[in-house]
Structure 1
């Protein structure tokens, strides 16, 4: 069974598990600020659950690719929508700042649970 490393936690999940659901079940918040209440609840339309993922995950779906192609996201940022991503092996996850997680500063990493400061 794969392991997800996020926010200083290690979460075990089934192969093919939905990343967003596994993170939320493991007590990891994938949203910044009011996006915790204002989001599409996993439909892949809002883009607020965007994270950086390293490891074995599914390929970009058309829905995810479309949303990540629209501002404020960019495919060049190498982010994934956690709600559209399946875990296929061990992964490490980083959440960035900004309402949509589109920023440049990490809010948390695989190893760290706190917001980074200068």
Structure 2
């Protein structure tokens, strides 16, 4: 078994792949590789990866089965999953979502 797993990160138009140690949380792996999982305020005031604040949301294609209540709701209703509640055990593709205040997503605009 390989010690690392490829994680492809989509950030706007940028796409890159990083090798992540198997068993790490996605939140920690993203932060360690310089990706922003928090908004401007929540990057300073968050729960530290305990699944309490709901601000480290990312979109994950083919994500592992949710085990945390927030992620179960996210999977059911189609909003971002908490990166702190996803353990990297298999290849993943992750899309970072734009946030403005306290991890909030920007509202959809109809022009």
TM bucket (normalised to shorter chain) is 0.7 to 0.9
1:65 and 2:69 aligned = yes
User: Any gaps of 5 or more consecutive residues in structure 1?
Assistant: 106-117
> In 1, Cα distance between the equivalents of 2:34 and 2:106?
22
Structure 1 54/66 Cα, relative in aligned 2: closer, same or farther at 3 Å? Answer: closer
> For the pair shown, which has the larger CA radius of gyration, 1 or 2?
2
- Please give the per-residue CA displacement for 1:3-57, whole angstroms capped at 9, x wherever unaligned: 11113331101222210011111111101121111111101100000111113x4
- 1:103-114 pair list within 5 angstroms: 103=106
TM-score (norm 2): 0.72
TM-score (norm 1): 0.69
User: Any gaps of 5 or more consecutive residues in structure 2?
Assistant: none
What RMSD in Å do the two structures reach over aligned CA positions?
Answer: 2.6
Structure 1 68/47 Cα, relative in aligned 2: closer, same or farther at 3 Å? Answer: farther
1:4 and 2:4 aligned = no
